[in-house]
């Protein structure tokens, strides 16, 4: 059994492509026959993993052909070869929008692999097909907390945010939060933009921040809030739906704390984030205000939040991901799935 992983024609690294690289490296180091297939020459490649050029791709019925959900046309070589076609759904939002007009998933000979439980639920709802979950993993040797941020009280918080994630909404949240802060006679918060940084620079920025404002939606299993949890930040803001794979509510409903209506799995942690409904600007400002108040007073809620954050991160490490990849591909090898 050979595994071929399609790499989309993107000139820069994205979170989704990084996860594809991780899976390829895990398979290669685990002894599986795996190759990545870039669509274009400029596509970033994972170090050490064999490469099959697009024009050289020759699939058979025993091969696994894995394609992320937004690139339906790339499934064609696998469909023509009657290979074991696997759509890795990394963002629920692109699952239907990427389909050509008149084409529906039940018409195609594909199986689904999902990046999170909310994505798996959505996939089943719109395709009628269930599939396993393969979550991302974060580098917990890189994303580590700043122990100094956990001591004492913090009158002026540092808030990290990502302008590429719905910037206009993020700016409205910031304006609302700072307007209310000014009414109380408090100093403006320090704001740190995470944009155009290397992973090391991102880790440093998060390590020196107290709060992370998540404004991404839609999301499949968003990595930045996970990295923020690992870095000791209080995570506030939006889930993008997919964030509910690991986010658990620590914000009171009367302040705008949001609860999902779809099923949630049982997890060994409790409240780890202050989560509001996607695009709810006033509630997101409330979340920032609550986090800042906890920091200003050294609230006991912080200890519980950090304990739950650590328990969350422990289940999303690169090693946990590797174990999941190995177990999943052994099942594929045995023919029990896909």
Whole-number Å distance between alpha carbons of 1 and 132: 19
Check whether 252 has a pLDDT greater than 90: yes
Check whether 147 has a pLDDT greater than 90: no
Check whether 148 has a pLDDT greater than 90: no
Check whether 263 has a pLDDT greater than 70: yes
Q: Measuring CA to CA, which residue among 23, 111, 114, 77 is closest to residue 338?
A: 111
Mean pLDDT of 320-325: 98
Annotate 112-151 with b (16+ C-beta within 10 A) or e (fewer).
Answer: bbbbbbbbbbbbeeebeeebbbbbbbbebebbebbeebee
**Domain 147-313 in the same topology as domain 2-136+318-334:** yes
Residue holding tokens 């409205």?
172
Binned at pLDDT 50, 70 and 90, residue 42 comes out as: confident
234-237, strands of its sheet edge to edge? 190-193, 158-161, 211-214, 234-237, 273-275
Binned at pLDDT 50, 70 and 90, residue 154 comes out as: confident
Q: Where are the domains positioned within the chain?
A: 2-136+318-334, 147-313
CA torsion through residues 259, 160, 279, 88, sign: negative
Architecture of the domain whose range is 147-313: 3-Layer(aba) Sandwich (3.40)
Cβ atoms 218, 90 nearer than 8 A: no
Conformational region of residue 65, where left means phi above 0, alpha means psi within -120 to 50, and beta covers everything else: beta
* DSSP, res 237: E
Q: From the centroid of its chain, how far is CA 222?
A: 2
Topology adopted by domain 2-136+318-334: Rossmann fold (3.40.50)
């Amino acid at each position: 059994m050979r595994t071929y992983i399609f790499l989309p024609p993107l000139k820069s690294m994205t979170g989704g492509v990084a996860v594809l690289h991780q899976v390829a490296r895990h398979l290669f180091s685990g002894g599986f026959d795996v190759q990545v297939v870039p669509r274009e020459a400029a596509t970033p490649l994972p170090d050490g993993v064999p490469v099959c050029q697009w024009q050289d791709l020759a699939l058979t019925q025993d091969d696994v052909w894995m394609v992320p959900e937004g690139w339906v046309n790339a499934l064609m070589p696998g469909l023509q070869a009657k290979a074991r076609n696997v759509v890795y759904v990394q963002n629920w939002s692109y699952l239907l929008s990427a389909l050509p007009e008149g084409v529906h998933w039940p018409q195609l000979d594909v199986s689904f692999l999902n990046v999170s439980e909310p994505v798996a639920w959505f996939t089943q709802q719109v395709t009628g097909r269930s599939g396993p979950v393969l979550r991302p993993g974060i580098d917990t040797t890189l994303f580590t907390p700043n122990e100094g941020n956990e001591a004492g009280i913090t009158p002026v918080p540092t808030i990290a945010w990502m302008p590429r994630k719905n910037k206009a909404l993020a700016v409205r949240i910031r304006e609302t939060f700072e307007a209310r802060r000014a009414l109380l006679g408090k100093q403006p918060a320090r704001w740190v933009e995470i944009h155009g940084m290397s992973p090391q620079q991102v880790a440093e920025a998060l390590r020196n921040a107290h709060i992370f404002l998540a404004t991404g939606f839609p999301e499949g299993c968003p990595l930045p809030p996970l990295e923020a949890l690992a870095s000791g930040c209080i995570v506030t803001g939006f889930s993008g739906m997919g964030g509910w794979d690991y986010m658990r509510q620590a914000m009171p409903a009367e302040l705008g704390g949001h609860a999902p209506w779809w099923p949630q799995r049982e997890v060994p942690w409790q409240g780890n984030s202050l989560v509001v409904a996607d695009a709810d600007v006033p509630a997101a400002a409330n979340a920032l205000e609550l986090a800042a108040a906890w920091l200003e007073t050294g609230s006991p809620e912080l200890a519980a939040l950090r304990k739950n954050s650590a328990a969350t991160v422990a289940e999303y490490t690169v090693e946990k991901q590797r174990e999941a990849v190995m177990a999943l591909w052994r099942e594929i090898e045995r023919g029990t799935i896909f």
